Amino acid sequence: MDFRCAAIATPMAFFFLLLASPPAFAGANVSAEYARQVSAAQIRLAELESLVVESELRIEQLEEVIRQQGKTEAEKLENLDQVNEEVVRLRGSIEVLTFQLGELKRIVDDQALTSERRHLHAEMRLAQIEKLLNLKPPPAPSDAELGLTAAVGGALAGMVTPPPVDPAAVTEDLPQTAAEKLALAKSHMDAGRQEVARAVLKAAIDQHAGDPQMDEIRYRYAETFFNMGEWKTSISEFNKVTNNHPTSPWKCWAFYKIGEAFEHLNQPEGAKAFFKGATEDNCKSSDAAKEARKKF
């Protein structure tokens, strides 16, 4: 606020600024609270999605044991009734978790929308105040002013931090077609700007539903989370590729990436199941299957 006070030439302008400032701070506090709630809900959402995946894998393992043993061997299992009861119990748990997952998604979406509205309202009010007082916004703070460095530790000494790009600014002037948006997003990914690429891909998903390249667009969108180490979120997004595009070759790579994400989460059994998925059905002769077989 110091730079604004210095630029005000009359007491009346100073009075207008004082009247406008409190709501801006209040809006910031509310936005921070909403951001905290959204973050907590997203963490719980990712945990529930992981539980759903683990439960489904366990059911598949139990059913596979029964199929392999065959009818004769299955009749000899002393604990067959317990196995069946466990399957029923797990299916019931999945239904409960699925319901909770849907509720959390709805809550997260509502809170994110409310937070965005409040933030946009605060920005619009600030812009009006600056226009009224004939003020120019300050330049964005540099990395040095924020206490950031291009490298941390000796292991990162040779790395160069790419110049920051505002995702909102990128999405203001995007190319028209889905293919052009995909190409632009991939160039940002190659340059290490995962969040910018994610914003471009999200715009493509929202604006080009049903496009022939939507399978790769969704895969690349999930890959931006994977590249930033957000393993649980990437699992959820890669799952959308496998579920919504069952005949796409990107489904095979999505299975493989989910397996790698489970490896990063120290869940080798889950990883193995998805590596196996990358070698089955229409994925048998894919490049992803060749890589997945190295994991067995």
Q: Whole domain around residue 111: which residue ranges?
A: 2-132
Q: Give domain status of residue 114, yes or no.
A: yes
The per-residue pLDDT for 78 is 59
Question: Based on the domain organization, do 22 and 103 belong to the same domain?
Answer: yes
Q: Where are the alpha helices (DSSP H) in the chain?
A: 2-7, 11-76, 80-132, 167-171, 178-190, 194-207, 214-227, 231-244, 249-264, 268-277, 287-293
Instruction: Report the predicted TM-score, pTM, of the whole model to 2 decimal places.
Output: 0.47
Whether residue 4 has pLDDT greater than 90: no
d(CA 251, CA 51): 21
CATH number for the domain that contains residue 15: 1.10.287
The answer, yes or no, to whether residue 6 has pLDDT greater than 70, is no
pLDDT of residue 29: 65
Query: Residue 278: its pLDDT value, please?
Result: 93
**Token reading at 99:** 């319901």
- Let me know whether 272 and 219 are in one domain: yes
**Do residues 115 and 213 share a domain?**
no
Is 205 among the domain residues? yes
Residue at 190 is within a domain? yes
Cα separation, 241 vs 250, in Å, equals 7
The residue-averaged pLDDT of 136-150 equals 63
Asked if residue 175 and residue 71 are part of one domain, the reply reads no
- Considering the domain architecture, whether residues 126 and 230 belong to the same structural domain is answered as no
Q: Are 225 and 261 in contact (CB under 8 A)?
A: no
Looking at the 3D structure of the chain, how many domains does it have? 2
- Count the neighbouring beta carbons within 10 Å of the beta carbon of residue 239: 18
Q: Are residues 197 and 251 in the same domain?
A: yes
String of DSSP letters for 49-79: HHHHHHHHHHHHHHHHHHHHHHHHHHHH-TT
Higher pLDDT, 229 or 143: 229
Measured CA to CA, the distance from residue 107 to residue 117 in angstroms comes to 15
The residue among 60 and 173 whose pLDDT is bigger is: 60
* CATH code of 238's domain: 1.25.40.10
146 in a structural domain? no
Report how far apart the first and last C-alpha atoms of the chain are (Å, whole number).
60
